[in-house]
């Protein structure tokens, strides 16, 4: 591997590992902010997927607070239903418009929640509503690997305590990412040439992920909520930044006619 490629992979993995260890999600968002400029898109996508999966495994082994199977199950069941729906819908969508609309939602709603911390929690719907949030996460996973966005936003709206929220998102993403990785391995998207770089990213992110998880244990509920909403806002900005140039130039990806 070229030295600049090694440096880019390591730098992206270190930053993304720390953020994922702290928040329980957002590995791909942070890593791609480095890798998208330096690596071939297919390689960057597989590194982001494998790194996020590695981070979720590490987190599941090191931060096990708040696990509640009854709370988690509706999200996971909904997500597993949503993945194939996303895969089916993907060819029919203008994906750039979809990314822009999702970005607008996050950029408008998440800062509003940051500025209005005393909003009452959402209490309706019970497990059915949680399952719908999981289904939307699964659909987004099938559309492009955004599995954690809707469940994370929904848990925040529910005002779940930080341990319960992290446990749900952590295990939900672990399930969705495992399914996605299995599908890519089965399809041959993960090639033999990628394995050394996947191993490099996994080793580079390990210690930062553990440090982030350790920091998470000491932060308050309010600080965790601010971190999550800020990361979701940044996710929205990143989606808009990637989609608006295509839409403004008339180059959106449209469904076949």
Tens digit of each residue's pLDDT (9 = 90 or more) over 36-80: 778 887 788 889 888 888 988 887 777 676 678 889 999 999 999
Of residues 153, 237, 215, the one with CA closest to residue 17: 215
How far is 16 from 86, CA to CA, in rounded Å?
Answer: 25
CB 105 within 8 A of CB 236: yes
Longest alpha-carbon distance in the chain: 54
Integer-rounded Cα radius of gyration of the chain: 18
State percent of the chain over pLDDT 90.
25
- Give one word for 188, left, alpha or beta, with left for phi > 0 and alpha for psi -120 to 50: left
Which string of b and e fits 38-62 if b means at least 16 CB within 10 Å?
ebeeebbbbbbbbbbbbbbbbbbee
Residue 121 zone, left/alpha/beta (φ > 0; ψ -120 to 50; rest): beta
pLDDT at 256: 42
Which segments of the chain have a pLDDT < 70?
1, 63, 65-66, 90, 143-145, 251-257
pLDDT recorded at residue 195: 93
Rounded to whole angstroms, the Cα distance separating 220 from 60 reads 20
Query: What SS3 state is found at 158?
Result: coil
How far from 16 is each of 83, 149, 172, 234, CA to CA, in Å?
Answer: 24, 16, 19, 14
Query: Where do runs of H (alpha helix) occur along 91-194?
Result: 95-115, 126-144, 149-157, 162-187
Buried b or exposed e, range 168-206, using 16+ CB within 10 angstroms: bbbbbbbbbbebbbeebeeeeebeeebeebbebbbebbb
Check residue 208 and give its pLDDT. Answer: 93
Q: How many CA atoms within 13 Å lie on the side-chain side of 8?
A: 18
Check residue 255 and give its pLDDT: 44
Q: Which two tokens stand for residue 158?
A: 């529910």
CB atoms closer than 10 angstroms to residue 119: 11
What pTM, to 2 d.p., does this model score? 0.77
What's the rounded Cα separation, in Å, for the pair 107 and 20?
20
Q: At what angle do helices 221-248 and 95-115 cross, to 10 degrees?
A: 150
Contact 253, 100 (CB under 8 A): no
Residue 77 · residue 134 · CB < 8 Å? yes
Task: Look at the block and give the residue holding tokens 């719908």.
Answer: 132
């Amino acid at each position: 591997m070229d030295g600049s490629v090694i440096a880019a992979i390591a730098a992206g993995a270190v930053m993304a590992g720390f953020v994922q260890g702290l928040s329980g999600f957002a590995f791909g968002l942070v890593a791609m902010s480095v890798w998208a400029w330096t690596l071939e898109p297919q390689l960057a996508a597989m590194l982001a997927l494998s790194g996020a999966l590695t981070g979720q495994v590490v987190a599941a082994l090191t931060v096990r607070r708040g696990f509640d199977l009854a709370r988690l199950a509706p999200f996971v069941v909904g997500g597993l239903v949503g993945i194939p729906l996303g895969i089916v819908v993907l060819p029919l969508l203008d994906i750039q418009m979809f990314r822009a609309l999702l970005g607008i939602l996050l950029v408008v709603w998440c800062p509003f929640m940051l500025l209005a911390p005393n909003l009452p929690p959402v209490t309706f719907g019970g497990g059915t509503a949680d399952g719908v949030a999981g289904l939307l996460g699964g659909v987004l996973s099938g559309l492009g690997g955004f599995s954690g966005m809707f469940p994370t936003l929904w848990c925040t709206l529910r005002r779940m305590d930080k341990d319960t929220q992290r446990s749900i998102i952590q295990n939900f993403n672990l399930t969705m990412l495992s399914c996605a990785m299995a599908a890519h391995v089965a399809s041959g998207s993960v090639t033999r040439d990628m394995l050394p770089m996947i191993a490099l990213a996994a080793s580079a992110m390990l210690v930062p992920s553990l440090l982030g998880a350790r920091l998470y244990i000491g932060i308050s509920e309010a600080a965790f909520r601010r971190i999550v909403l800020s990361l979701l806002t940044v996710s929205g900005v990143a989606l808009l930044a990637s989609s608006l140039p295509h839409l403004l130039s008339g180059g959106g990806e449209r469904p076949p006619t």
